[in-house]
Structure 1
Amino acid sequence: MDLPFPLAEEWAAHLARDRRRSEHTVRAYRATAVRLLRFLGEHWGGVVTREALGGVSAADLRAFLAWRRTDGLGNASAARELSAVRGFLAFAGADAPRLRGPKVAKGVPRPVVPADVLALAGEVADEASAPWIGARDWAVLLLLYGAGLRIGEAMALTASVLPLGETLTVTGKRAKTRVVPLLPQVRTAIDDYVAQVPWRLERDAALFRGARGGALSAGVVRSAVQRARAGLGLGERTTPHALRHSFATHLLGRGADLRALQELLGHASLSSTQVYTSVDAAHLLDVYRNAHPRA
């Protein structure tokens, strides 16, 4: 249980009360603080106090990140974890040691791994100017990745889709409609946004609203992603549309049928969907080269 870490609870309360961070951000940052305190307790062999945190070294943080890597963290997720750690140490009155964040190697663009999708969405939500905007951005990005929507399709959704069910009817190119499944996590994210948005959501009006109450612009989402990816060390091709590509590639990698994927993506022809077979093959080749002793 996480209860033996009162300092993490204090930080979570500070983020919610004084910094007005979103519920998602508070939950994620609290979890980071708990992980750090638990790790340092085992690493140092004792209870970690506020005073003890003043002695955290760069080697300690490198060891913490290496431990987190065992959970499959990508570079973007590791960078976000390090950012949260720095914030927590500052709250505790400790100076975080200088430590260069992980860098992403340049090369052929690859799908964004699931952990880095969450890191990107979380970073965008953290930088929002209000909690409800953070909840909105988190919901939009999870929708793009979790359901494979084009950003224009997400912006075109109206409040008539509420209340949400297990599927969502989407209008794509050439006014073609399709039905996509909604993961529970995506439904929860949208419901959280709907509960916080300060504007009345009329059935025939936009579901996702801008800061002044009008329909949210795709450009606002793209700009937020651009700022967040820089802080996480992600490449310039990590865009909202890249989340749709990642959705497709990850489904194909887990055995999805091309025809079913075509329907989920709303492609007019199978040839548009077949591009993902080469993307997935390239990813598998990367895995082979990195893992095989004679590659």
Structure 2
Amino acid sequence: MVAQRNYSPHTVRAYRADIHAFLESYRGAPGSISPQVIRSYLATLMARGVGKRTIARKVSALRSFHRALCIQGSEDMNAANHVNLPKMDRKLPSFLTIDEMHELLKLPGTSTPLGMRDQAILEFLYATGTRVSECVALNVNDLDLRTFSIRIMGKGQKERVVLFGRRAANAVSDYLEQGRATLADVNEKALFVNRNGGRLTDRSVRRMLDRYIDQLAITKRISPHSIRHTFATHMLEGGADLRVVQELLGHASLSSTQIYTHTAREHLVRVYEAAHPRAHSNSMAE
């Protein structure tokens, strides 16, 4: 089931936990599970305050589970397919303004190998919009500094080529020559390494990013993933085509990228109102 669907390790762990929790609650034979049983279980979770996104993930996990049972012949019908996913409230992504992002990029001290690494990671994430999980999976041979591009292995093992600018290239180049060279063993393949020379973990990068984000004098809630949102928003505000941004982000569906158009549209409205002499009724005499 997992191999056929190309689920990420994180999704596999979450689905296993969801299926286990459901079976612990049901305690009956898997083959006798009905849509009503699943709906009742989900209603209990919602009454406890479990969010819609978590409920949707649990339904997806149960659909995968019942699909496997059908393939094995243990079930004639996928009961979970008859359970509707909750209607999601699309939350607008949090992002940094250009000035805030510039302030964040100034924070790492580049006098140490780890500081050079942090600077390179921040510049790289902002320049490419890659996920933190994609960033830590990169190897040195994925990088091509001559063409300002890098090969990314995204969700579902889908490969894409992402571009970056000169500032990110310079930061990564400095890190490779002066930072990584003192940290990593000659046989280490990972692009970004920890203080012991091994591959950085997703959690380590998130902790590092959280530390720098906390130093910004802002009140809005920003997470490491917000840098990806910031990349997409700034690209659209700068006039990038939506499908180009979709390709760079590695989104399978255009609808996943369209959520960023709302914030970009707000930016256009602000620019228009500030620039056009008749944007406000009282701005010019009739």
Same fold? TM cut 0.5 = yes
The residue that corresponds to 1:157 in the other structure is 138
- Determine the C-alpha separation between the residues in 1 that align with 2:199 and 2:188: 12
Query: Could you tell me which residue of structure 2 aligns to residue 140 of structure 1?
Result: 121
Is the 1:159–1:205 contact (alpha carbons within 8 Å) kept by the matching residues of 2?
yes
Matched, 1:221 2:205: yes
Distance across 1 between alignment mates of 2:228 and 2:154: 13
Residue 286 of structure 1: how far off its partner (Å): 5.4
- Structure 2 spans left out of the alignment, 5+ residues: 1-91
Q: Secondary structure at the match of 2:96?
A: coil
Q: TM-score, normalised by structure 2?
A: 0.57
Pair 1:293–1:219, CA change in 2 (3 A)? farther
Task: Report if aligned partners of 2:125, 2:228 keep a CA contact under 8 Å in 1.
Answer: yes
2:153 alignment counterpart: 171
> Contact 1:111/1:249 (CA < 8 Å) preserved in 2?
yes
Alpha-carbon distance between aligned partners in 1 of 2:176 and 2:201, rounded to the nearest angstrom? 17
User: Aligned residue pairs: how many?
Assistant: 185
Render the CA deviation track for 1:145-188: whole Å, top value 9, x for unaligned: 11111111111101113552321111110010111112111111
- Secondary structure in 2 aligned to 1:146? helix
Following the alignment from structure 2 to structure 1, what is the Cα–Cα distance between the partners of residues 129 and 261? 16
- Flag structure 1 segments of 5+ consecutive residues without an equivalent: 1-107
Q: Given the alignment of the two structures, is residue 180 of structure 1 paired with residue 162 of structure 2, yes or no?
A: yes
The aligned residue for residue 248 of structure 2 is 264
Q: What is the root-mean-square deviation of aligned Cα atoms in Å?
A: 2.7
Is residue 172–residue 266 contact of structure 1 (8 Å, CA) maintained in 2? Answer: yes
The answer to whether the 8 Å contact 1:148/1:243 transfers is: yes
Q: Does 1:211 align with 2:195?
A: yes
Contact 1:120–1:225, Cα closer than 8 Å, also in 2: no
Superposed displacement of residue 114, structure 1: 2.6
Counterparts in 2 of 1:21-170, with a 5 A limit?
111-123=95-107, 125-126=108-109, 131-162=112-143, 164-165=145-146, 166-170=148-152
Letter in 2 for 1:178: R
- Distance in 1 between residues matched to 2:281 and 2:156, nearest whole Å: 49
Could you list the per-position Cα deviations for residues 24-48 of structure 1 after superposition, in whole angstroms to 9, with x for gaps in the alignment?
xxxxxxxxxxxxxxxxxxxxxxxxx
- 1:118, 1:168 → 2: CA distance? 23
Question: Which amino acid is the alignment partner of residue 214 of structure 1?
Answer: G
Larger Rg: 2
Q: Is the 8 A contact 2:140 2:189 kept in 1?
A: yes
Q: Percent identity?
A: 38
